[in-house]
Amino acid sequence: MLRSSKQIRDSAQRLAKRLEDEYKDHTGEEWTKHIFKLLTDFCSVEFKQKKLAFFHNHHPEGRNEFMWDFLAVADDGGILLAAESEQHYNTAAERGLRHDFGKLLYVYAPLRALIYKAKDEDAAERLRVELTEYANACCTNFNPGSVFLLHCCLWHGKGSHTYLWQSAGEPAELRKESLDFVLLEP
C-alpha cells in the first residue's frame, strides 16, 4: 500500500514509464483493451495486495454516467487507482476529456490518470493548459500526496509523454467508520 507522498510519486512515475514503454498506436476497442490490461497488470504488481478488484465496464446503452473508466480497488475497499481514457481528439472529445478529468478530481485515490490521444504536441499542450485552468477553477482541495497523471499518446505512432502533478502534504491513515443515520427532531 502507498503510505507516503514519495511512495505515491514513485509509483506514479513507474506507471508513466510503463505507459510510455508499452505505447501502441491502436485504435477503437483494441486501444481500450490494451490500456485496461496495462493498468490491470501494473496494479497487480505495484500494489502487492492479496486481492484487488478491477472495474472497467461501459454502460450497455452508451449513456454517460458519473463513473470512472478504470478502478483498482484494494481488498479493504479503498480505491488505489482511478483512470479515465479517451482516444478521439476533436472539439466534442475535448469537452468529454474535461468531463472525464472532472470525475478524477473528486475521487479519493492516491493515483489518478487521464489517458488520451492527441493529434500533435500543440494539441497535447493546449489540453494540459485547459485542464490545469479547469482544475484550479473548480477544485482547491485534494487528498494530500495524491498524484494526477495526464498521459498523452500522439496519433500515428509519434510516441507518448506524461505530465505529473502531486498534491502537497502526506497522506493520512483513514479509519473505518460505521454509518448510522439518526432522526432529527423538528
> pLDDT per residue over 56-89, tens digit each?
655 555 555 557 888 888 877 788 999 998 876 5
Q: What integer is the mean pLDDT of 18-36?
A: 83
Q: Where are the domains of the chain?
A: 5-166
Residue 140 burial (CB < 10 Å; 0-12/13-18/19+)?
exposed
Nearest Cα neighbor of 101 from 74, 57, 137, 54 is 137
Given pLDDT bands bounded at 50, 70 and 90, which one contains residue 33? confident
Higher pLDDT, 1 or 84: 84
Q: Is the pLDDT of residue 92 over 60?
A: no
Enter the pTM of the model: 0.84
d(CA 35, CA 10): 20
CA 34 to CA 61: how far, in whole Å? 22
